[in-house]
Structure 1
Amino acid sequence: MQSHDPAPLSSVASRTRLVMARPSALDLYTLACGAFLACAPWLFGFARPTGRVDSEIVGVAVMALSIAGLVAFADWEEWLKVALGLWLIAAPWLLGFVHTSAMHVSIAVGIVVTFLSLLELWLAHDADFAGDDAAKSDLL
C-alpha cells in the first residue's frame, strides 16, 4: 500500500506561489487587458472610427509586449507598456473621441495597464521581493 506524503504537495504549492509571485505573472493581466482592448470595439460598438482603430492597434501592441515580457523580461517592454497606457489615457482628447464609450474603455484600460506595468517594474527591482543578489547589488 502506498502512503501519500504531503511533502510533494507542499513543494508544488510553494513552486506555484513562487511562479505566480514573479512579476511576469502581471504580464498575464496586461495580456488580458490588451485582448479586452482589442475586442472592445465589437463589445461596446464604438461609433467613431478613430476610437475603434486606436483601441485595436494599442490592444494588439499591449498583447505583443505582454507576450514578449512572458518570454523574457526586459525593462524596455514595461516602459513601452507604461507609454501605451498613458497614451490610452490621453487618446480621447488627442484623437477626438471624447464622451463616447471608447473614451471610457480607453481611460480605464490605460490606467490598469500603466499601473500593472509600473508595479512589475517596481517588483522586478525590489531587492526584498526579487530575493536574489543581483537585484540587491543594483541598489548599492
Structure 2
Amino acid sequence: MYGTWRKELIPDVLNLLLGVGLFISPWLLGFSNERTPSWNAWASGLVIAALALAALTAFAEWEEWIALAVGVWVTLSPWFVKFSNSATAMPVHVVAGTLVALIAAVRIWYAHGGHTQATA
C-alpha cells in the first residue's frame, strides 16, 4: 500500500517542482528585467505550485483540470501576451507548460479508468 501511495505522489511532486522552477526562472535564467514574461512566470508558477500542494494533500479531479488549463496557458502564453521573441522566456514557458499539461492529462485519464491491467 505504501508503494502505491508513494507512486501516486510522483506527478504532484513533479508539478510542484515545475511550478517552483517556473517561478524562479526569471531570476535564474536572467529574464527578470522583461516585465511580461516574468510576471507570467511568477503568477503561473505560484498557481501550479499551489495546485500541486493541494493535490499532495488530497487528490481531487478539479485540481487536475485546472492544472491542465494552466499548463496549456503557460505553453501558449508567449504568443498570447507577446513574448515569443524572448530567447530564454519562451522555451521555459513552452517546456514547463507542456509538462504540466501532460502530467495533468495523464492524471485525468487515470482517474477515469484509462489504465488497463494485464491479466494472465
Structure with bigger helix share is 1
Instruction: Give the CA deviation at 1:128.
Output: 5.6
Divergent runs of 4+, >6 A: none
Match of 1:43 in 2: 28
CA contact (8 A) 1:19 1:25 kept: no
Report the AA paired with residue 43 of structure 1. L
TM-score of the aligned structures, taking structure 1 as reference length: 0.76
Q: Pick one of 10, 17, 22 that aligns with 1:32.
A: 17
Match of 2:101 in 1: 114
Report the AA paired with residue 18 of structure 1. T
Instruction: Provide the C-alpha distance between the structure 2 equivalents of 1:96 and 1:48, rounded to a whole number of angstroms.
Output: 11
Report the AA paired with residue 44 of structure 1. L
Q: Deviations over 1:31-71 (max 9, x none)?
A: 00000000000011114210000000000000000101111
Quote the RMSD (CA, aligned, Å). Answer: 1.8
Instruction: Give the CA deviation at 1:96.
Output: 1.0
Q: What 5-or-longer segments of structure 2 have no aligned partner?
A: none
Instruction: Give the CA deviation at 1:19.
Output: 1.8
Instruction: Give the CA deviation at 1:17.
Output: 2.3
Highest CA radius of gyration, 1 or 2?
Answer: 1
Q: SS state of the match for residue 50, structure 1? A: helix
User: How many correspondences in the alignment?
Assistant: 115
Q: SS state of the match for residue 59, structure 2? A: coil
Match of 1:96 in 2: 82
Identity %: 32
